[in-house]
Amino acid sequence: MLTIKEIEKKDIKRIHQLETEGFPDPWSIAGIGESLEQPCTILLGAWLSDLLAGYVICYCAADELEIARIAVDPAVRRKGTAASLLAALKDICLERGIRKILLDVRQSNKAAIRLYEKAGFIRDGVRKNFYTQPAEDAILMSFGFGK
């Protein structure tokens, strides 16, 4: 069974492990720890029994939320973990009066783009050479909650 709850300090090492498995430019342990300290940050984890299988890190600014990171353990992908994290995030947004979720995604990251589109996100545009390590364009996407 999947349980979604907030990330705590004790989870930082595991998040870092998932970062290294999920991204070409993983965040450092210190960087993840700093995010956890920020009052404007939302960090959710998804546990499959005792295993922290995935996480999402977001920043709030006024009535908008930006997804900075989302990743799932390669061994348990395609089981709905990321979709459940996004659904939990939307519930939090509704509770807090957040009207829009924003994100950027590497153009080549078809799995993530499909994940977001399936969750109702739309494409807003392209930011040229937005990423480094390796250099790549970003697709900008958003989800609006309406009025």
Residue 132 CB, shortest distance to ligand COA, in Å, is 15
71 versus 97: smaller Cβ distance to ligand COA? 71
User: Token pair of 46, please?
Assistant: 């998804």
Q: Does 82 bind ligand COA (CB under 6 A)?
A: yes
User: Token pair of 98, please?
Assistant: 């957040």
Number of Cβ within 10 Å of residue 62's Cβ equals: 10
Site for ligand COA in 10-49 (CB under 6 A): 22-23
Q: Does 123 bind ligand COA (CB under 6 A)?
A: no
72 versus 102: smaller Cβ distance to ligand COA? 72
Q: Does 107 bind ligand COA (CB under 6 A)?
A: no
Return the range that interacts with ligand COA (CB under 6 A); candidates 6-14, 27-35, 57-65, 73-81. Answer: 73-81
Residue 95 CB, shortest distance to ligand COA, in Å, is 22
Q: How far apart are CA 127 and CA 93, in angstroms?
A: 26
Contacts of 47 (CB under 8 A, 6+ apart): 2, 3, 4, 5, 53
Q: How far apart are CA 32 and CA 137, in angstroms?
A: 24
Q: Which of 87, 78, 51, 55 is nearest to 68 (CA)?
A: 55
Q: How far apart are CA 34 and CA 61, in angstroms?
A: 17
Rule CB under 6 A: choose which of 14, 79, 99, 100 binds ligand COA.
79
27 versus 93: smaller Cβ distance to ligand COA? 27
Residues that bind ligand COA (CB under 6 A): 22-23, 54, 70-72, 77-83, 105, 109-112, 114-115, 118
